Amino acid sequence: MSRDSEFSAFVAARRTHLRRVAYACCGDWHRAEDLVQTSLVKLYVAWPRLHRDGREEAYARRIIVRADVDERRRPWRREVPSSRAGETLHGAGEPAAETGPGLEERSELFAAVQALPAQQRKVVVLRHWLGLSVAETAEELGISEGTVKSHSSRGLAALQRTLTTSD
């Protein structure tokens, strides 16, 4: 198989998952698509080295997280247009999950996750949604394992408070 066909097969298989990871990090479907595109461009450049080691998805996730951090640091990103107040959980064309909690429960959960501070949100998504270990999460975010544990603990406590209050 050639480099291009291997890369295309990976993108076809994992793009939707990576887009959902990006959405969980940033909370906006359009920005999520931009983050995925950025990660795929960088992944293509590093494809021969990463594909040989089997680390392509971890690399793409890391780029998504770091690109989101970089984008949030830009001054014009600190302003939020008032039109976003009415956006729904599922952006245009985003399919609803077929199993698991209902739409209302997912909406409450995603709203609660999006209300977390950025670093707590990323730790919660990587640890508890993607199932990465403490060490893997620390490596992806470039922070210590102790910081991962404290952000995870605080994030889960905040989610529990928010979700039990809304019931």
**CATH code (residue 150):** 1.10.10.10
In a domain, 41, yes or no: yes
Q: What is the pLDDT of residues 10-63, one digit of tens each?
A: 999 999 999 999 998 888 899 999 999 999 999 999 998 888 888 899 999 999
| Mean pLDDT, rounded, for 110-123 | 89
- Position 97 pLDDT exceeds 50: no
The pTM score is 0.58
Instruction: Answer with the residue of higher pLDDT: 143 or 77.
Output: 143
Query: How high is the pLDDT of residue 166?
Result: 66
CA-to-CA separations, 127 to 46, 60, 84, 136, in angstroms, rounded: 25, 16, 28, 9
Q: Which domain holds residue 164?
A: 102-167
Count Cβ atoms below 10 Å from residue 18 Cβ, excluding itself: 23
Query: How high is the pLDDT of residue 100?
Result: 58
What number of helices (H) and strands (E) belong to the chain? Answer: 7, 0
- Position 9 pLDDT exceeds 70: yes
In a domain, 129, yes or no: yes
In a domain, 70, yes or no: yes
Query: How high is the pLDDT of residue 92?
Result: 46
Lowest mean pLDDT among 48-57, 58-67, 79-88, 133-142: 79-88
> Of 61, 77, 93, which closes a domain?
77
Q: For tokens 């247009």, what's the residue?
A: 81
Q: Which residues are CB-contacts of 24 (< 8 A; sequence separation ≥ 6)?
A: 110, 113, 121, 125, 129
In a domain, 148, yes or no: yes
